[in-house]
A and B are shown apart, each in its own frame.
Chain A
Amino acid sequence: MEQKIEPQEIQLTKQDFESDQMVKWCPGCGDHAILKSVENVFPVVGQKMGYKKEDFVVVSGIGCSSRFPYYMNTYGIHGIHGRAAALAMGIKLTNPKLSVWMISGDGDSMAIGGNHFIHIARRNPDINYLMFNNKIYGLTKGQYSPTTPKGQKTKTSPQGTFETPFNPGELAIGARGKFFARVIDTNPKLMQKVFLEAALHHGTSIVEILQNCVIYNNKIHALITGRDTKDDNQLILEAGEPMLFGKDKSKGIILEGTRLKAVTIGENGITKDDILVHDPTTEDTGIHMMLASMAPPELPAALGVIRSVKAETLEDAIWNSVEHEKEVSPYKNVDDLLNSGNTWEIE
C-alpha cells in the first residue's frame, strides 16, 4: 500500500513556515541562505504533494546547522548529536503521511552519526536529508571533521590533519542510497530546485549542501563557489542533458577507459556528441559514484541531482505488511492471542 497523498488545493506561503524565534547563526553564515531556500520550497512541496502545514516535520542532530528546526514553524525536534536519522525514521515509520525533513552537519552525519547515515541510505525511508557540509565543527568552535581536507590546520590539528576525509556522496551511494544530490549555499535557485526534487523523490533523498562557515572555515568551498573560479569548477547536472560546464559551456565530461575526464569541445577532435549525457536513474552506481567523487582542480564538482533511483520505501514495505497481516492473521485482537496455543481450564 503506497501512502498516496492526493494533491489538493493548498495555498501555503513562505510566511506559514517562518518562526518567531531569533535566528542565532553568525552573520554571513551559509546557514541563513539555506533556511531561506527551505522556507521558500515548503509551500511548493505542500502544493505539489498535498501536504498541509501541520504535515511537515523538521528534525536534526546537534551542531550549528542542527539549530534549524527552531527556526521553522513546523513540528520539529532538535535531537542528540548524530542520531537525527533514527529520529526521522521513527517518525516516518509511525506516520508515513508526514513530510519528514532532517538537518545535519558533516560532524553530525559523518562522525558520530556515520553508522546511522549508511543505514538510512540502505533502508530508504522517504526522508529528505539535508547535510550541511562546512568541513568543520562549527558549534564546538573549529575542530576538524571527517570531511576536512587532509593536512588542513584546525584547532585539533595544529600540524594539519593526518586523516583521509570522507566524501559524503561516495558514502551515500556506496551504501546503496537511492538519491544523492549536491548544492551550494550561494545558489538559492539550485537549492530550491534540488530540495523540491528531493521532496518529490519517494525514498531517502540525501542532499549535501556545501556550506560556508565564515568563522571557522571561511572560503573552504571557494574554488567551487567563487565568482571567478566557479564556472570551471562546477558541473551542474541535468537529467538527459550532456555534462557541460565552463563559462560558455565549452567544456564537458567524457568517459575515457574507466575514468571520467574533463575535455574541451573542439580540441583533439572532441565534439558535443562525445560528452556524457546524465542519467540519474540507473540502478548501477558506477557513473554516479564517479560523479560524486569529482573534485577540483582536476575535475569540476558535480552539483544537482547525481542519483535518483526508484525503489520501494521502508515505510511502504512495512505498512504493506501490516495490511497483509491484518487480512491473514488468525488474531483479530489481543484476546485472541492470549488464548492461542496450549491453554487449559481450571473449573
Chain B
Amino acid sequence: MTAKKDKIVEIEEAVVRFAGDSGDGMQLTGNLFSDSTAFAGNDFATFPDYPSEIRAPQGTVSGVSGFQIHFGHKNIHTTGDLADVLVAMNPASLKANLKWVKKDAIIITNSDEFTEKNLGKAGFDSNPLDDNSLTGHLLIKGPLNTLTKEAVKDLDLDNKSVLKSKNMFALGMIYYLFNRDYTKTFPFFEKKFKKNPLVVEANKKVLEAGFNYAETLEVFTNTYRIEKASLNKGHYRNVTGNLATAWGLLAASERSGHHIYLGSYPITPATDILQELSKHKQFTCITQQAEDEIAGVVSTIGGSFAGAMAVTTTSGPGLSLKSEAIGLAIITELPMVIVDVQRGGPSTGLPTKSEQSDLLQALYGRNGEAPCIVMAATSAADAFYSAYEAAKLAMEHMTPVILLTDGSIGNGSEVFKIPKVADLPEIHPPLAKANDPEYQAYKRDPKSLARQWAVAGTPGLRHRLGGLEKADITGNVSQEPLNHQIMTDLRQAKVDKVVDYIPELKIDGDDKGELLVVGWGSTYGVLLTAVEEMRAEGKSVSMTQFKHIMPLPKNVHEVFSGFKKIIVCENNMGQFANYLRMKHPEFKYEQYNKVQGLPFMVSELKTKFDTLLNE
C-alpha cells in the first residue's frame, strides 16, 4: 500500500526525529523507519539520543528517548542538523526536542498525552498545542491513544498491550507522509511476535490505521518522495558503528587465521561490541566478560601470548583502568586491539553522549615512554575497515593499537556497502618458525622493526616476556642504562615506521586555497557536508580528515602547506590541535571546539568558517 494523494512533492533529503518517553518504543520505531528507507533505496544515517537511565521518571524531560534519521537522494554524511518532521509522543518529548526542529517543521503530537499532569511534569505552563506557541510549524494534534484503541477494538487485547502499539500508529503516519509501503513492515511483526498472533494482528492494524488517518488529514496537502540514492552498484545493509567494529574484527580474525580472544567489561557506549562478539562462537571467537577492565585487558595479553588475535573493548573510564596493562603489552610487544568508544567525560561524565576527549589519553595516558598505534574511525561504516586495519597493524607490527570511535559512531547507523572478506587486504603476522635455532625474543624485522610472534606451545621457542626492561635482541631482563635508551628508541621507532604502511592523507576539495578544515575521527561527515555546501557557494575551502594519529600520515606538511588558514575542529577542547602544534609547529592552527555531548551542526561550522574567510 502506498499513498493515494495526488500531489507528491519530490525532495532531495529530509530529517525525521522520533521522540517519546523511554518506554514508548522510539528506538524501534526509528529502526523500522530506517529499514523502510533502505527499501526505498535512499542513503541515510541515523542517531539515537537516549537518557543514561533505563527508565527515567516517566513523562519527564530527562526520560525522553529520541531517534533521528537523515535520508536522501544524494550521499548522506550526517544525521542532520534540524528536523523537518518531529514525532512527539508526549509533552516532555516536545519540550526536549523543539530546539532540534526547523522553524517550519511538521510536528506530529499525541494530543491524548497532553494532560495537565503531563504538561506539568514536562514543565509547560500552558498547553503548547493550544497557546499558539508553535505557530509557524505544521502542527498535528492527533489523539493517538484513542485512535490506536479504536483500530484494535475488535481484538481481544488488554488496554496496556494496545497502548504499547501506539508508536506504530505514529510510524504509519510517517510512512504515509513519505510514500512508503507499510506492508513491508508486516514480516517484522510476524517474526518478532511469533508466539502471539494477536499482537501481530494488532500491530498491523495500528500501523495501517496510522497510515489511513494521515491520509484523511486535511492539513497534509501533499506527500513527499525522495528519489533513490545514486549509490554505487552493489549489495547494501544498515550498520551501526559498534556492529561494524565487531564485524571488522571478525573479518580480520578470519583473514589472519588467528581466532579472537576478547576480554572486556560492559560499559556504555561500547557494550554492544562485546555483546555482538559473544554471539559468534562459531568463528571460534572466545569472549570473556571479565570482572573488571583490568582483568579484561590483561587476559587479552595472555590470549595474545597464546596466539589469539587479542581484543579488548571499552570506553574512556575503562581505558583509564587499562593503562598499566597497555604498557605491559607495549613492552612485551604483543599485538592487541583496544577499542575505545569515547563518551563525555571526565569520570562517569555523559555516558550516553559522544565526545572526542580521550585522544590524549590514548596517545600518552600511560607511565613511561609508551608509544602505540592510535587510529580513529571516521564513520559507522568506516568502523568496519578501521577495526580491520587496527587488527592487521597490531598483528603485523607486534604492538597494541588503540582504535578510537565514539558514541556517535558506535550507536549511529548508516548505509554500508557489503564487502567480500576475500577482497580485504591480506594479514601476515611475523610468526616465528618452530625450532628456529636463530630465534631470539627481541630480534626484529629490519624494515618494520617488529619482533617475531613466538606463540606459546610452539616447539623450540621457549622464552620469557615481562614488564621489566628487556635486553635488546635476547629479551633477557636488563637494567643496563644504554640498553634502556636503545629499547626506548626502538619502541618509538617501531611505531614511527608504521607510517610506511598506512595511506596518505587525502584532501576533499582543491589542494590549495584559503581555508583547510581539519578533523579526525567521527566528525568527517558533518565537516564534509559543511565544506561541500560552502564550495558549492564558490568559497575557497577544502578539508582533510585524519584517521591515523600515531603515527600521522607522511604528507601532513605537504597538505597543510597549500592553505592560508587551517582550522582544527573537534569535540574536545583542542587535543588534536595541540598535538599538531607539537608535531607540525611550522603551521598556525585555528580551533573550533564543542563539548556539549552533541555533534557539530553544519550551520554552526559554516558560520565559523565564513568568519575566518572574511577576516
Q: B374 contacts the other chain (Cβ, under 8 Å)?
A: no
- Tell me if A344 and B233 are in contact (CB < 8 A): no
In the complex, A345 Cα to B236 Cα: how many Å?
Answer: 6
C-alpha spacing A320/B87, complex, angstroms: 48
In the bound complex, CA of A192 to CA of B234 (Å)? 65
B422: chain A residues at CB < 8 Å are 335
Which chain A residues (190-207) contact chain B, with CB distance < 8 Å? Answer: none
Query: Are the CB atoms of B299 and A87 closer together than 8 Å?
Result: yes
Tally of B interface residues using CB under 8 Å: 71
* A window 323-347: CB within 8 A of B: 324-326, 328-329, 331-335, 337-339, 341-347
Interface residue from B228, B281, B299, B306 paired with A86 (Cβ < 8 Å)? B299
By the criterion CB–CB under 8 Å, are B457 and A83 in contact? no
Q: Are B298 and A90 in contact (CB under 8 A)?
A: yes
Question: For residue A86, which residues in chain B have a CB less than 8 angstroms away from its CB?
Answer: 263, 290, 294-296, 298-299, 302
Query: Could you mark each residue 38-55 of chain B with 1 if its beta carbon is under 8 Å from any beta carbon of chain A, else 0?
Result: 110100000000000000
The binding surface of chain B is classed by DSSP as mixed
Query: Quick check: B463 and A75 within 8 Å, CB to CB?
Result: yes
| CB within 8 Å for A334 and B250 given contacts A70-B477, A76-B464, A93-B288 | yes
Contact B456 A91 (CB under 8 A): yes
| Contact between chains at A344 and B457 (CB < 8 Å) | no
Residue B238 CB within 8 A of the other chain: yes
Say yes or no for B261: interface residue by CB 8 A criterion: yes
Which residues on the B side are within 8 Å of A329 (C-beta)? 281-282
Q: A80, B467: Cβ atoms under 8 Å?
A: yes
Question: Which residues of A are found within 8 Å of B250, using beta-carbon distances?
Answer: 334, 337
Residues of B within 8 A of A280 (CB): none
Which residue of the partner chain A has the closest CB to B34? A342
Contact between chains at B237 and A342 (CB < 8 Å): yes
**Does A59 touch B at the CB level, under 8 Å?**
yes
Contact B462 A73 (CB under 8 A): yes
Task: Give the contacting residue for B457; candidates A19, A97, A341, A343; CB below 8 A.
Answer: A97
* Chain B residues with CB under 8 A of A334: 247, 250-251, 254, 283, 421
- Cα A19 to Cα B463 with chains together (Å): 10
Q: Verify A54–B462 contact, CB threshold 8 A.
A: yes
Set of chain A residues within 8 Å of B228, measured between Cβ atoms:
346
Which residues of chain A are near B236, meaning CB under 8 Å? 343-346
Q: How far is the CA of A69 from the CA of B467 in the complex (A)?
A: 12
The stretch of B173-181, B324-332, B601-609 that contacts the partner chain:
B324-332
A residues less than 8 Å from B345 (CB atoms) = none
Contact (A342, B35) CB under 8 Å given A79-B328, A90-B302, A98-B456: yes
Answer whether residue A40 sits at the interface, using C-beta atoms and an 8 A cutoff.
no
Q: Is A321 an interface residue (CB 8 A)?
A: yes
A115 partner residues in chain B, CB cutoff 8 A: 291-292, 295
Number of contact residues on A: which range applies?
Answer: 35 or more
Given A87-B301, A94-B261: A76 and B235 within 8 A (CB)?
A: no
Asked if B477 contacts A93 (CB within 8 A), the reply is no
* Contact digits for B465-476, partner A, Cβ 8 Å, 1 yes 0 no: 111100000001
A332 to B324, CA, bound (A): 38
Given A115-B291, A341-B237: A98 touches B286 (CB 8 Å cut-off): no
Task: Give Cα distance in the complex from A99 to B419, angstroms.
Answer: 40
6 closest A-B pairs by beta carbon, nearest first, are A90-B302, A78-B466, A90-B299, A329-B282, A94-B306, A86-B298
10 A-B interface contacts by CB (under 8 A)? A57-B457, A77-B464, A78-B464, A78-B466, A79-B301, A90-B308, A95-B456, A343-B237, A346-B229, A346-B235
Please give the residue numbers on chain B whose beta carbons come within 8 Å of chain A beta carbons, in ascending order.
35, 38-39, 41, 228-229, 231-238, 247, 250-251, 254, 259, 261, 263, 280-284, 286, 288, 290-292, 294-296, 298-308, 310, 324-325, 327-328, 332, 418-422, 456-468, 476-477
